A and B are shown apart, each in its own frame.
Chain A
């Protein structure tokens, strides 16, 4: 029985990091950004990374996407190196800032990866229309970024990451700069999108409720050196209305995350 479960998990493995180490050489000496980080992420999981500033959340996400070279350990994505996975266009990456090109319309921005990856014109138009509807931006295709609110820009950048149908969606504090209401709304939309598409999502956040609400797995990290202190498997059901955040189960998980964060802080002081 145990063996069977194990086998299933292994076959669904998307991201596997083993004893990952990363030291930045800076002018003020080496910075140990990641130390002995091991993590397995299965297909269709929604994994949140939470931890104080500087604990290496962004760095780990960048390692997964092959934007940063670890100085030790192994990481594989879909059984390939991150570089190969990047070549296979496995990632949709959403950065903290929307980073839309000001000289392209919203539609043009979403088209950017499609142009680069050589989709046909008709296919481009169809995909742009589809993902714009997905993030609730239909009708804004011809607008320029400065004509949109921050939240809409962020949704456009998510649409851009979704447009080419990568298996893995990596999001680095995508809603960090938005107000609570917009954030709630986008969280709901993101969950719906995840349920519909079955993508594997890595999501960095500073907010405990956001992490608990969204995730199937919460990774708690702590700084100096950046490492994983706790991995919490969520027991919440897949169907999550916003008011699930008042449930006992939700509050218990949030407590555990908070304790993990506090523990990380204590051996820091």
Chain B
């Protein structure tokens, strides 16, 4: 029986891989092809200008080749971004100002701090909302309003206000990051804490359990799947918050700073590689939360 399962599971994973890998690779291939194609019209204007100035001519192949290998293309070709990523992630010492790992870490540390603050705040607010009608009525509308204000508008204000009281560096970024990440946690956690049905609550009443016992023994464990789902959203939002927090100050360190510097100097390759670095970082963070979720819920017996 175990042998059957072992081979069965192996086959299952293999077919699953085949099934999911093939479409994913196809889509990726199509995107890269479209990207290369788009580079030609985007970047050929510059080539044409140069040609007009020098009076030389070029074949189609040469035009395409030029479009894919400019120093400061409007749209860099995929391989240029890949090379830049390789250079700045792997080839540079991580203490170097040109290392993306260095900048990534700056942003990541603000993200993690902001995520921790946002998650704690979100959980506390959710607990309050579920236990107090007054908080339910007062906090939730404000939480929703807070998310309707564009972060790009509020980020500079937060930074300026904090700067005026002498707080700068990682803290303001973390606060902006927390501002974005507490919301999904409040919503998910409140829903989770309310997920036990009437029967389960009545059962506790027949034991004459206190509210605190109801919280620790029923509401909190019942909310875990909801919490993890919202943590995945929150961690991605945290990263966005940290990057946005680096933009208005003209920061010199962090992925946001790389984006900003890139756009000042027309270094599109640098912008794109910073963007990709941020996306990869976000994917890793979400995957890590997913892994913790799996382990935690399995240990709680809620997953097979």
Tally of chain A residues near chain B (CB < 8 A):
25
A95 touching B203, Cβ below 8 Å: yes
Question: Which of B205, B300, B301, B304 interacts with A67 by CB under 8 Å?
Answer: B205
On whether A112 and B199 interact (CB within 8 A), knowing A65-B206, A86-B205, A103-B302, the answer reads no
A-B contacts, 7 of them at CB < 8 A, read A67-B202, A87-B208, A92-B206, A102-B301, A116-B209, A116-B213, A116-B217
Question: Which of A65, A99, A103 interacts with B300 by CB under 8 Å?
Answer: A103
Residue of B nearest to A115 (CB): B217
Is B218 part of the binding interface, using a Cβ–Cβ cutoff of 8 Å?
yes
A87-B208, A103-B300, A164-B207 given; name 10 further pairs at CB < 8 Å: A86-B206, A89-B207, A93-B206, A97-B199, A101-B222, A102-B302, A116-B208, A116-B217, A146-B301, A146-B304
Question: Which of A91, A104, A117 interacts with B301 by CB under 8 Å?
Answer: A104
Is B78 part of the binding interface, using a Cβ–Cβ cutoff of 8 Å?
no
Q: Closest Cβ of chain B: how far from A43's Cβ, in Å?
A: 20
Q: Which chain A residues border B209 with CB–CB below 8 Å?
A: 116
Is B290 part of the binding interface, using a Cβ–Cβ cutoff of 8 Å?
no
Interface residues of A in 164-204 (CB under 8 A from B): 164
Question: Chain A interface (Cβ within 8 Å of chain B)?
Answer: 62, 65, 67, 86-87, 89, 91-93, 95, 97, 99, 101-105, 112-113, 115-117, 144, 146, 164
A95 touching B199, Cβ below 8 Å: yes
A112 touching B217, Cβ below 8 Å: yes
The 9 closest A-B pairs by CB, nearest first: A144-B301, A103-B300, A93-B206, A116-B209, A103-B221, A116-B207, A113-B207, A87-B208, A91-B206
Question: Which of B207, B208, B218 interacts with A101 by CB under 8 Å?
Answer: B218
Question: Which of B199, B207, B302 interacts with A99 by CB under 8 Å?
Answer: B199
On whether A116 and B300 interact (CB within 8 A), knowing A95-B199, A97-B199, A101-B218, the answer reads no
Cα separation A115 to B199 with both chains bound (whole Å) = 19
Is B204 part of the binding interface, using a Cβ–Cβ cutoff of 8 Å?
yes
Is B50 part of the binding interface, using a Cβ–Cβ cutoff of 8 Å?
no
Q: Closest Cβ of chain B: how far from A176's Cβ, in Å?
A: 14
Is B200 part of the binding interface, using a Cβ–Cβ cutoff of 8 Å?
yes
Residue of A nearest to B196 (CB): A101
Interface residues of B in 112-154 (CB under 8 A from A): none
Question: Which of A95, A102, A144 interacts with B202 by CB under 8 Å?
Answer: A95
Cα separation A99 to B222 with both chains bound (whole Å) = 13
Instruction: Sort chain B's interface into a size bin.
Output: 20 to 34
Q: Which chain A residues border B204 with CB–CB below 8 Å?
A: 116
Cα separation A116 to B224 with both chains bound (whole Å) = 21
Cα separation A113 to B200 with both chains bound (whole Å) = 12
Q: Which chain A residues border B206 with CB–CB below 8 Å?
A: 65, 67, 86, 91-93
Q: Closest Cβ of chain A: how far from B192's Cβ, in Å?
A: 12
Q: Closest Cβ of chain B: how far from A154's Cβ, in Å?
A: 14
Q: Which chain A residues border B200 with CB–CB below 8 Å?
A: 99, 101
Question: Which of A86, A92, A104 interacts with B208 by CB under 8 Å?
Answer: A86
Cα separation A89 to B207 with both chains bound (whole Å) = 6
Cα separation A93 to B203 with both chains bound (whole Å) = 7
Cα separation A116 to B206 with both chains bound (whole Å) = 11
By CB atoms of chain A within 10 A, which of B202, B206, B222 has the most? B206
Q: Which chain A residues border B205 with CB–CB below 8 Å?
A: 67, 86
Q: Closest Cβ of chain B: how far from A151's Cβ, in Å?
A: 19
Q: Closest Cβ of chain B: how far from A178's Cβ, in Å?
A: 18
Q: Closest Cβ of chain A: how far from B104's Cβ, in Å?
A: 36
Cα separation A101 to B222 with both chains bound (whole Å) = 8
Q: Which chain B residues border A103 with CB–CB below 8 Å?
A: 221-222, 224, 300-302
Residue of B nearest to A161 (CB): B206
Cα separation A99 to B205 with both chains bound (whole Å) = 14
Q: Closest Cβ of chain A: how far from B241's Cβ, in Å?
A: 32
Q: Closest Cβ of chain B: how far from A117's Cβ, in Å?
A: 7
Cα separation A176 to B48 with both chains bound (whole Å) = 82
Q: Which chain A residues border B203 with CB–CB below 8 Å?
A: 93, 95, 99
Q: Closest Cβ of chain A: how far from B72's Cβ, in Å?
A: 56
Cα separation A67 to B213 with both chains bound (whole Å) = 18
Q: Which chain B residues border A101 with CB–CB below 8 Å?
A: 200, 218, 221-222
On whether A105 and B202 interact (CB within 8 A), knowing A86-B208, A112-B217, the answer reads no
Q: Which chain B residues border A117 with CB–CB below 8 Å?
A: 207
Q: Which chain B residues border A115 with CB–CB below 8 Å?
A: 217
By CB atoms of chain A within 10 A, which of B208, B217, B224 has the most? B208
